[in-house]
Structure 1
């Protein structure tokens, strides 16, 4: 997928220039911030990744709190 942009300074063509085998890499190169000229798919992936990170952190905190409460009860 090629991106057409008149302002080439702020565009990172993360979809058009990836190698074919990049889908098999464990750690893929992704943009971490939203920039002008990004497609809606790129923006939605960044937002989804950030939301998933936040939800995982909340689950981990709740799990730790629950485990601590269970340890105190068992003493």
Structure 2
């Protein structure tokens, strides 16, 4: 695995060979809450999952609104 390190105060690293679409995969072992002692990677996965869920919900609401407006015309 290749790592990319940025020179900043927090000294963070990113996995550059990680599959980009892995964020969208459904797995049973996903954590849904942030707990003390979690790594930065685990925390970012929880936050990403929550953001994706919010965007999906907003998309569905917008889709339904658009469909109802289209039917009314």
Q: TM-score, normalised by structure 1?
A: 0.61
Structure 1 residue 30: deviation in Å?
Answer: 1.4
User: 2:58 — aligned with what?
Assistant: 58
For residues 34-70 of structure 1, give each alpha carbon's deviation from its aligned partner in whole angstroms, at most 9, with x where no partner exists. 0000000000000000000000000000000000000
Higher strand share: 2
User: 1:42 — aligned with what?
Assistant: 42
Structure 1 residue 27: deviation in Å?
Answer: 2.9
Higher helix share: 1
Divergent runs of 4+, >2 A: none
Task: Provide the rounded CA distance (Å) in 2 between the counterparts of 1:39 and 1:27.
Answer: 19
User: 1:28 — aligned with what?
Assistant: 28
Please tell me whether Structure 1 or Structure 2 has the larger radius of gyration of its CA atoms. Answer: 1
SS in structure 1 at match of 2:50: helix
Q: TM-score, normalised by structure 2?
A: 0.63
| Structure ranking higher on relative contact order (CA contacts 8 Å, 6+ apart) | 1
Unmatched 5+ stretches in structure 1: 1-25
